[in-house]
Amino acid sequence: MPPFELCVRSDLSQLAKISEFVTQSARRAGVPEADVFDIQMATDEACTNSIEHAYSGNMGEVRVCCWVENRTFVVRVTDFGKQFDPTKVPMPDTEAPLESRDIGGLGLFFMRELTDGIEFHSDKEKGNQVILRKRIQTGEG
- Per-residue pLDDT tens, the chain, 141 aa: give them: 678 899 999 999 999 999 999 999 999 999 999 899 999 999 999 999 899 888 887 889 999 999 999 999 999 999 999 887 766 655 655 565 545 545 455 677 788 889 999 999 998 889 999 999 999 987 654
Predicted TM-score (pTM) of the model is 0.84
Domains defined for the chain, CATH in brackets = 4-135 (3.30.565.10)
What single string gives the DSSP state of each residue in 47-113? HHHIIIIISTT---EEEEEEEEETTEEEEEEEE-SS---GGGSPPP-TTS-GGGSPSS--HHHHHHH
